[in-house]
A = this chain, B = another copy of it.
């Protein structure tokens, strides 16, 4: 990686006094943060200078602040912590939607905001990038609603401690923490000695009495269950408790499903894995098990109920135990202040498998039987998602976007040791390309050699496209599958006015983006047919992630993964006429007004 020549202090130890800016970055690097995201601005350049003198630390230099926040989020989902640096007012507000997403989805991001010098604030002088009313605290107040904690450094005597406290908090709580640093503090000298003491990142132990009560209650439900299921939700990855979850499954032999946000947290090659539970959008086989369970144990719960325009999500079992990151819900009883990993380990320690009533049943097959189609058949989402699992490899980092790809991925079966990144709860369109950049850095740092694979719709790509430039600049090599269905397809389906103008987008020459943004070594290709796809996934060279690749998959505009299609075809409230029209649409043209021969596409129901 092209690190700048640093003024290296090396391993000989730091001077006894260093700048606050250096302190911040050395501490972050101690926590395995090697890439800093953001954009330069009026009040942060002295801070950014420090990065260049610290080995194994780089400034990503994003293309805009919202993309930078998305990138920090994607990075933290793999490395547990990220750092975003923006400038007062204009920078931080541009990023706030990304920070809110990290807050919603439990992702630890330290948001450093470069602030005007303390003197200006005290004297109420109007400055660039303000609202013109002398109020310097306003943006910090705005941030407090979407952060675990916010602070602005004001006391030089304790600012290093404050930085340590905030970093530890972001890490432990897996949520954004905001630290405003006045530009005149950056070069203030602080003692470097505290850096030789690692931060305490442990949570306090659970109250033993409370923990025992809950462990006993959960064990009771486990023992008595006759048709149970374990659901792996988002906080399994967030809190790195995959090993504990695996152990629990070994002990109980319960079938395991993941939520969309939990996908990849449990090894999908494990024989206990039965697929993705997506509430009312689950496959019939999964719904059959989960909706008719007498006991559902959700490990690493992020949500208990969830509604979107597309589906409802709730647990219908008679008995439920939801283990959130720091509280537990047993049916309707709420038990606060229980840290998840401690609780799980206590549960595992006390679990006696001989008391389990459940007799293991076969879990549903995740993958449907392979649909054999002829090479010249145009591609459809259903077929692509049913085939792509065969192309995934161990270690892959797979990223999907809000839209059809977030549903399609639930049809796939992951190899072991895969990470899945998807902003299913916050659902900000455009997140995925920024996250892909962040995840690419993280993968290079943590899972060197592993591939990063992005599925993004042509519509979503437009919101944050410039982050391709940063990916190119750093020589990162993700696979970028652009699902080109000619516009905002998920909205067409959601709103059932498929011909509304606002679903259309300006058609881009997506395959020219890489070269336009300065890529020299790249692969950009379009695939349209079953044959194209098969050739691609069987190509050994293509399987190696040596260069940046964009693969544009041409799909019809009213095409979506089966789960979505079935919902609309079977929905009571939908008029018969419209469902017929939607089927006709598939056969009438390719979504761009080009007539074609009648396709071989058949409703999944008829297979």
Contact = CB atoms under 8 A, between A and B. Distances in A.
Interface in A482-539: 488, 491, 494-495, 497, 500-509, 512-513, 515-518
Classify the secondary structure of A's interface with B.
loop
Interface string A78-110: 000000000001100110110011011100000
A298 to B, nearest CB: 14
A132 B302 CA distance: 8
A470 B129 CA distance: 27
A141 B131 contact: no
Interface string A456-493: 00000011111001101100000000000000100100
Contacts of A75: none
A508 B516 CA distance: 6
Contacts of A59: 501-502
A40 B516 contact: no
Interface string A349-392: 00000000000000000000000000000000000000000000
A463 B512 contact: no
Interface string A127-141: 111111000001001
B128 A309 contact: yes
Chain copies in the assembled complex:
2
Contacts of A462: 63-64, 466, 469
A146 B129 CA distance: 13
Nearest to A428: B90
B491 A40 contact: yes
A502 B100 contact: no
Contacts of A305: 125-126
Nearest to A61: B502
A595 to B, nearest CB: 22
A429 B129 CA distance: 10
B61 A426 contact: no
A97 B93 contact: yes
Contacts of A497: 45, 49
A444 interface: no
A501 B4 contact: yes
Interface in A248-271: none
Contacts of A427: 90, 128-129
A242 to B, nearest CB: 22
Interface string A58-76: 0101011010000000000
A45 B495 contact: yes
Contacts of A146: 131, 138, 142
Interface residues of A, number: 84
A506 B90 contact: no
Contacts of A132: 104-105, 302-303, 425
Contacts of A4: 501
Given A131-B104, A518-B506, A52 B501 contact: yes
A89 B426 contact: yes
Interface in A405-462: 425-430, 462
B466 A128 contact: no
Interface string A8-50: 0000000000000000000000000000000111100110110
A76 to B, nearest CB: 17
A506 B517 contact: yes
A207 interface: no
Interface string A195-231: 0000000000000000000000000000000000000
Contacts of A466: 462-463, 465-466
20 contacts: A45-B495, A59-B501, A63-B463, A64-B463, A66-B66, A90-B101, A94-B97, A96-B142, A126-B303, A126-B304, A127-B306, A128-B306, A130-B425, A132-B302, A465-B466, A469-B506, A473-B506, A508-B518, A509-B518, A512-B512
Given A41-B491, A45-B494, A508-B518, 17 more contacts: A48-B502, A63-B463, A64-B462, A64-B463, A66-B94, A90-B429, A103-B131, A127-B308, A129-B427, A131-B146, A131-B426, A132-B302, A132-B425, A462-B469, A469-B506, A470-B506, A473-B506
